[in-house]
Every structure is written in C-alpha cells, then in structure tokens.
A and B are shown apart, each in its own frame.
Chain A
C-alpha cells in the first residue's frame, strides 16, 4: 500500500492578494479558480507535479461564522501551522517574494546548523512558509 499527499489547503483572507504570491513568486500554476456562495477556491500545482494540489481558500468558507472568525483571527495573528516548500534556487525565490505586495521575508536564506539551507517568509495573508533549498 502506498499513500501520498494529493491536496493540501492554505487559508488566505484575500485571494486576489494571495494569487500573485503563489503564482508569480513561487511559480505555481493556477489549475482552477472556482467561486461559489461568495467565496473562492484557487487550486495551484507546481510545474511537473499535477498530482499535488495546493488549494487557497478563505477561513470563513464552509464553516460556522464563529469557527470562521476563530480561524481568521489565528491567520491574522500568524498562528496557523506553517507550510514548507522546496525550491531549486532559494535566493531567486526569495527575491521574487520580495517583489510581492504584503509578503515579508522573516529570515533571510541561511545555512541552518541542522543541515538545511532555508528561509522564512509570510505570505500576504499571514501564513508562515519555510522555503528550503533542494539539494
């Protein structure tokens, strides 16, 4: 039996602010952009990896107002779990992120003492992303 990741969801408050980050800076491709009941679901894939979807959705979509507000507050505070990405050119990826309005580089690319070279950034919604140099 083999199980692998097929889809993961990232909460964003403003899809129009998030798309340039994920599409233009990270280089993901928009596979679908669906609107329903006032909310949007944007599916992205990495080039060459159509089997793994990264889906951007809003915290309030499909939840009670109370739970949507609780998630929106955690997102605004920057307290949701981080997402990790891998790039073949960390420095170029970080430079592309710097050009995106609302994105912040928290930690410049650095060789960590546990053996990886990585950087820490926030997307415009407030999610923490760690981006690692592929070996």
Chain B
C-alpha cells in the first residue's frame, strides 16, 4: 500500500505545533513550513490524515480556549487577542459558525452551559465540535459549515 510514514510524522509535528502555539499569531503558512510543504499541499495532506483542514484545526483550538476565557469574564477583544487571532471580525465569524452564538452572546449566557457540571465534564461539553449535528444536549446550535 505504501503509506508515507515520514510524511505522516511531519503532519503530526505540524499539528503539535498548532497545539503548542495556537495562542500566538500562527498561520497555516508557518505551520506548513514545519512540515516542509507548500501551504496548499500541506492543507490537502493534513485533511487526508485528520479529516479537517489545518485552518479548521487551528481555529477550533483557539475558539475552545476563547470560550473558557469568555466564561471567566474576559471581553471579546481580550479573548480574541489572547488566542492569537489578529482580526476581531474573522474571530467573531469563526466563533459564531463553530459555537452557534456570537462571542458576545456566549459571554452573556455561556456560563449556563456548564452550570452544575463537574470540571472535567465541563471541559468535554464546552469543547467545540465541528459538524456533529445534534450531538449536544445543552441547547447549542449545531456547528454547520466547515470554516
């Protein structure tokens, strides 16, 4: 079958870098360099390996963290910059697509999402889920389009 294990290792290291550095202004071009690939080729190979684009992976990590910051009382602008997003507009758009509420709506009422849950349950419930329609029993709008 001829799986290219060395390519898969490079993709893994690139994904690990997103996990480590998502709060910095990291972009897909920089991550692709980690994998020694062009951005377009990297995005195709990453998607083949992990079933989502590197951009979607990076934004999911950022918005997961942003949700926690908003629940702790950060402003939308503070949360946006703290997770490495430089544009408030694209941050809010991505957040809304993934969470089903705008960041400011989430900040106002998001605490209800974890009310009464233990901390480790809260971590699972609040993790953004892309394209798993109807998986939430907590009244979140389903995530729809891939970003």
Q: Which residues of A contact B19 (CB under 8 A)?
A: 106-107
Contact A76 to B123, CB < 8 A, known contacts A104-B16, A106-B20, A114-B118: no
Q: Which residues of A contact B12 (CB under 8 A)?
A: 76-78, 122, 126
Contact of B16 with A77 in the complex, beta carbons under 8 Å: no
Contact of A76 with B8 in the complex, beta carbons under 8 Å: yes
- Chain A's closest residue to B11 (CB) is A77
- Chain A's closest residue to B5 (CB) is A76
B9 lies within 8 A of chain A by Cβ: yes
Contact of A114 with B123 in the complex, beta carbons under 8 Å: yes
The answer for the CA separation of A113 and B123 in the assembled complex, in Å, is: 9
B120 lies within 8 A of chain A by Cβ: yes
A13 lies within 8 A of chain B by Cβ: yes
B15 lies within 8 A of chain A by Cβ: yes
Contact of A69 with B3 in the complex, beta carbons under 8 Å: yes
* Interface residues on chain B, size class: 20 to 34
The answer for the CA separation of A35 and B12 in the assembled complex, in Å, is: 29
Q: How far is the CB of A45 from chain B (nearest CB, A)?
A: 29
Contact A114 to B119, CB < 8 A, known contacts A122-B16, A126-B9: yes
The answer for the CA separation of A104 and B18 in the assembled complex, in Å, is: 13
Q: Mark A71-113, 1 if CB is under 8 A from B, else 0.
A: 0110011100000000000000000000000001011000011
- A interface vs B, CB < 8 Å? 13, 66, 69, 72-73, 76-78, 104, 106-107, 112-115, 122, 126
The list of the 8 closest CB pairs from A to B, nearest first, reads: A114-B119, A76-B8, A114-B120, A78-B12, A76-B5, A73-B3, A76-B9, A77-B8
16 residue pairs from A and B, CB less than 8 Å apart: A13-B5, A66-B1, A69-B3, A76-B5, A76-B12, A78-B12, A78-B15, A104-B16, A106-B16, A106-B20, A107-B19, A113-B123, A114-B118, A114-B120, A114-B123, A126-B9
